[in-house]
Structure 1
Amino acid sequence: MDDDAPLDPRAGLAIVAAQQRRVRESSVDDRILFGVWGLAWLVGYGVQWWTATTSPTRTATGRGGLVFAAVAVAALVVTLLHVARATHGVAGTSRQVGMMYGWAWSVGFVGQGLIVAGVVRAGADAVVIAIVANGVACLVVGLLYMAGGALWQELSMYLIGAWMIVTAAAASLVDMPGGYLVMSLAGGGGMLVAAGLAALRRRRA
């Protein structure tokens, strides 16, 4: 082909469309993040509430804790993989920001686990341990959502992060096992609603 020949308009439009698809595919999808964590909270806290209703301490039993841990780890893995995929092939500052954001999730939850272990070692009762474990975990998730919303200029992501923190604060003020139910319905349900609204917004776009 002659290098000086004018570009076919159809070929130019195809190039533009391909670049637009790449940008969309390389961005963090709030539908995925809202969806996986919404399910994790709805199921995990729902099971904890159900097991706590028959517990003498009014807190989740070992089975409830294991279920919640399993769904939380699954949601964390999906989050890390999605962020890694969204930033794959992106060079420079954007790639570094994505990697740092992904690692922040792991560091945050390791810190949360160690704080809970410290509270247990200090001799706190079951109710205090439950409130601290739930509150710190939700604070980590909420703040990381808000940070992600600021990084990628996703207002919905920022707002749902704030909603998580408010929900966790409200649940901490409710007598157990009611706090688990607040986390499940208001927290998990709110994130699933946000995932649905995000899907509708993207479909219209």
Structure 2
Amino acid sequence: MTDHTDRADRPGDDAGLAAADSLRLIREQQDRARAALEPDARALYGVWGVAWLAGYLVLWSSVQGREQPEAWAFWVFAGAIAAAVVFTMVHSMTRTAGTRGVSARTGAMYGWSWMLGFLTFSMFLGGLARAGADSELMGLASNGGACLVVGLLYLGGAVAFGERSLFVLGTWILLVGAVATLVGLPLTYLVMALAGGGGFLVMAGVEHLRVVRRRRRAGEEAGRG
């Protein structure tokens, strides 16, 4: 009787294990597809961290003993920021290029938002210059305004992609912009480099640890299966 009962139970157990394996495989495929079709936060944080840290340190270094940074330092900074903007646009749009519907539109609009944000911001600065704004006002407005644009774009990205880390970083960048404006030049450049660029790099590291833990957990579940 006992042997008969064991044999009767085995088909159900096998079916349960097969269903669990199928659900695990489906979940893993969904995770891989999501990772491939969503912007990689580590890349975005890392690029902006390097751009801000390097660009603002160059400005800070060139302003020592002078009223304002040298012209070449501004060109280096502008090139670093432009490269970060282009990378963000291309990365966001490329990652969502294989999708359709809402996901594709979200990625495209988020990518273009970066270009539009900084394009209109540069026009805003041009208007201040034409109105006769002095170099200190221009310096504070350009740096505080950059934080405002980036911070709000990250908050928008948090809503669009459901990423809590984007919301945290966006809030931090807004606070950095406020502090950098309050301390005044030339300390503004140092605050932007260390707190702004450093904040991006810290978040890149945190996001990388999250990805590693997620993959390790998935591997452990696969091993148990």
- TM-score, normalised to structure 2's length? 0.82
Size of the aligned set, in residue pairs, is 197
CA RMSD of aligned residues (A): 1.8
Q: Single out whichever of 120-129 and 21-30 deviates more from structure 2.
A: 21-30
Q: Which runs of 5+ in 1 are unaligned?
A: 1-6
Mapped contact 2:140–2:184 kept (Cα < 8 A):
no
The separation in 1 between residues aligned to 2:20 and 2:167, in whole angstroms, is: 39
Aligned match for 2:170, one of 147, 161, 170: 161
Amino acid at match of 1:76: V
> Does the C-alpha gap of structure 1 residues 9 and 161 become closer, same or farther in structure 2, counting only changes over 3 Å?
closer
1:39 aligns with 2:50: yes
Query: Residue in 2 aligned with 1:119?
Result: 128
After superposition, the C-alpha distances for 1:95-125 in whole angstroms (9 at most, x for unaligned) are: 1111111111111001111011111111111
Amino acid at match of 1:104: S
Q: Whose helix proportion is higher, 1 or 2?
A: 2
Alpha-carbon distance in structure 2 between the residues aligned to 1:114 and 1:91: 34
Secondary structure in 1 aligned to 2:162? coil
**Cα distance in 2, alignment partners of residues 175 and 92 from structure 1:** 46
Larger Cα-atom Rg: 2
Match of 1:4 in 2: none
How many angstroms does 1:8 deviate by? Answer: 11
**Which contiguous aligned blocks of 4+ residues in structure 1 show a shift greater than 3 angstroms?**
7-19
How far is 1:14 from its partner? 5.3
How far, CA to CA, are the matches of 2:170 and 2:40 in structure 1? 15
**Which whole-Å CA distance do the structure 1 matches of 2:27 and 2:191 have between them?**
46
Q: Deviations over 1:118-146 (max 9, x none)?
A: 11111111000011111111111110011
> Which of 27, 32, 35 lines up with 1:24 in the alignment?
35
Superimposed CA distance per residue, residues 66-103 of structure 1 (whole angstroms, 9 cap, x where no aligned partner): 01111101111111111012211110111111111111
Q: Give the Cα–Cα distance (whole angstroms) in 1 for the partners of residues 20 and 142 of structure 2.
A: 59
Q: State the 1:15 CA deviation.
A: 5.8
Amino acid in structure 2 at the alignment position of 1:139: L
Correspondences of 1:21-100 after superposition (within 5 Å): 21-55=32-66, 58-100=67-109
**Uncovered stretches (5+) of structure 2, i.e. residues with no partner:** 1-17, 215-225
Residue 181 (1) aligns with residue 190 (2): yes
